Amino acid sequence: MKIIKHKLFIYFILSLMAGIVGCSGKRKAEEKSTETKQQTFTCPMHPQVIKHEMGTCPICAMDLVPFEKNSDDKSIKLDAQRQLLANIKTIRFGDGGSEGISSQSVLNGRLVVDPQQSNYISAKIAGRVEELFVRETGVAISKGQPLYKLYSEQLATLQQEYLMALAQQKQFAGDKLEQQLVSSAKQKLLLYGQTEAQLQRLSKTQQKNPYVTVFATQSGTVAELSITQGQYVAEGSPIMRLEGYGKLWVEADVYPNEMKQIKQGQALKVLVNGWEDQAQTMKVDFINPSLQAGTQLTQIRGSIANHNGQWQPGLQVKVMLASQAVSGGMNLPVDAVIRDGKGQHVWIKTGKDSFEPMKVSVGKANGNSINITSGIASGDEVVITGAYLLYSEYVLKRGKHPLG
């Protein structure tokens, strides 16, 4: 009898322990299930902030958004209002965009002064700069405008010789030698900057004038000024340099492997930085046959018109060098394709408010378009603007890359 009671007691104890263990396991499973299903939230600007309830970010006070880190759903939801704010636009494959695409290389270049538009002014006669009418660089000069006034004793001597030659010619009228002396003296004065009107006045008044005013022979902008008022200058001394900006050179850097695409006389499109809406066309006038010292670059040169002087030498430009066109596949705007270390992908609209990433292979590209060679099927609706926002939204909500 005692043995039976002892066995019943042991059985009771074991049953009690089994019940306790079972309840504990069930409670842990329920807690684990609850923890798995518990929604987490994060900040769009500070993803390190993670909470288990809806609220605001303690850093920037923005509203938290759901964080679906454990979700296996490849698509992402975006309501109509957010699509409108994000400027998301799509195009359906097969509705166009399959024409050929030309790959373009961008050559870096710059605007340079055309030396043929420059005018160097030097002193034709020695003397002292009595008055300087232009005293700073950057001033625009018109043709015929006075530049400086020079006092020259040498000029006074030549004028005296001219007056003496005229007097002797009157005494010996008809003498060819005297006529030659007058012509020679007159020619010297003309070479030294005197005008016909000044010589006629000298002949009429018989009064020497040791001052000569020098006038601009062409229009331009003063780029360099080499004298000051009161300075003595020798014959041939540099006075100033005028530059014309009506036409500018375009110098572009070219790598040797790009030279095979360029020929002299070829027309290329030029975009001046800041004026991309005013594309210019230049003809390649010169190809440098040697590389620049210490580089693997050579240069090509052309020229463009500078209407109203809107561009200045030194501005950076882009010279577009097109290569052979590539056909086939689908062409999309370059911003439609997300390219990173995981590869390339686009976003496909799979429903009214849902979008899904799609891995693609790409081909040639230029500054505006990129050719998709595979990955998109006929009828797919591809996002062409706002793709990066969808990419960021996916990474933010799922905490992983769209391609896994």
CB 253, CB 235: distance < 8 Å: no
* Sequence-ordered strand ranges (E) for 17-58: 40-42, 50-51
Rounded mean pLDDT of the chain? 81
Report how far residue 373's alpha carbon sits from residue 384's, in angstroms, rounded to the nearest whole number: 16
Task: Say if residue 249 is in the same domain as residue 239.
Answer: no
Task: Say if residue 32 is in the same domain as residue 134.
Answer: no
Task: Say if residue 130 is in the same domain as residue 236.
Answer: yes
Task: Say if residue 365 is in the same domain as residue 335.
Answer: yes
Q: Is residue 403 part of a domain?
A: no
Greatest mean pLDDT among 84-93, 108-117, 373-382? 108-117
**Confidence at residue 182, expressed as pLDDT on a 0 to 100 scale:** 83
Q: What is the pLDDT of residues 209-228, one digit of tens each?
A: 888 888 888 888 898 999 99
Q: Flag whether pLDDT at 36 surpasses 50.
A: no
Q: Is residue 404 part of a domain?
A: no
How far the first Cα of the chain sits from its last, in Å, is 69
Task: Say if residue 125 is in the same domain as residue 238.
Answer: yes
**Confidence at residue 38, expressed as pLDDT on a 0 to 100 scale:** 64
Q: Is residue 197 part of a domain?
A: yes
DSSP assigned state of 307: G
Task: Say if residue 207 is in the same domain as residue 92.
Answer: no
In the predicted model, what is the mean pLDDT of residues 347-366?
Answer: 86
Q: Flag whether pLDDT at 98 surpasses 50.
A: no
Task: Say if residue 151 is in the same domain as residue 127.
Answer: yes
Report the half-sphere exposure of 331 (CA within 13 A, side-chain side): 18
Greatest mean pLDDT among 34-38, 49-53, 173-177, 181-185? 181-185
Q: Is residue 300 part of a domain?
A: yes
Which of the four pLDDT bands, split at 50, 70 and 90, describes residue 15?
Answer: low
Task: Say if residue 228 is in the same domain as residue 89.
Answer: no
**Confidence at residue 305, expressed as pLDDT on a 0 to 100 scale:** 92
**Confidence at residue 31, expressed as pLDDT on a 0 to 100 scale:** 47
Q: Is residue 205 part of a domain?
A: yes
Say which CATH number the domain at 289 has.
2.40.30.170
Say which CATH number the domain at 134 has.
2.40.50.100
Task: Say if residue 183 is in the same domain as residue 233.
Answer: yes
76 versus 40: the higher-pLDDT residue is: 76
DSSP assigned state of 115: G
Say which CATH number the domain at 345 has.
2.40.420.20
Among 15-19, 137-141, 168-172, the minimum mean pLDDT is found in 15-19
Which residues constitute the domain of residue 280?
106-114+245-320
Q: Is residue 311 part of a domain?
A: yes
**Confidence at residue 14, expressed as pLDDT on a 0 to 100 scale:** 58
Strand 89-92 relative to strand 381-385, pairing? antiparallel
**Number of domains, the chain:** 5
Q: Is residue 192 part of a domain?
A: yes
Contacts of 108 (CB under 8 A, 6+ apart): 252, 253, 316, 318, 319
**Confidence at residue 282, expressed as pLDDT on a 0 to 100 scale:** 94
Tell me the whole-structure pTM to 2 decimals.
Answer: 0.50
In the predicted model, what is the mean pLDDT of residues 373-383?
Answer: 87
Structure-token pair, residue 278: 């005013």
Query: Could you tell me which of 91, 46, 173, 86 has the C-alpha nearest to residue 348?
Result: 91
Task: Say if residue 160 is in the same domain as residue 304.
Answer: no
Q: What is the pLDDT of residues 294-329, one digit of tens each?
A: 888 999 999 999 988 889 999 999 998 876 555 556
Task: Say if residue 194 is in the same domain as residue 213.
Answer: yes
- Residue where a domain terminates, one of 243, 277, 295: 243
For the chain, give the number of residues: 404
**Confidence at residue 4, expressed as pLDDT on a 0 to 100 scale:** 59
Among 40-54, 153-167, 185-199, 355-369, the minimum mean pLDDT is found in 40-54
Q: Is residue 278 part of a domain?
A: yes
Task: Say if residue 165 is in the same domain as residue 226.
Answer: yes
CB 73, CB 81: distance < 8 Å: no
DSSP for 212-279, written as a single string:
EEEE-SS-EEEEEE---TT-EE-TT-EEEEEE--SEEEEEEEE-GGGGGG--TT-EEEEEETT-TTS-
**Confidence at residue 195, expressed as pLDDT on a 0 to 100 scale:** 78
42 versus 156: the higher-pLDDT residue is: 156
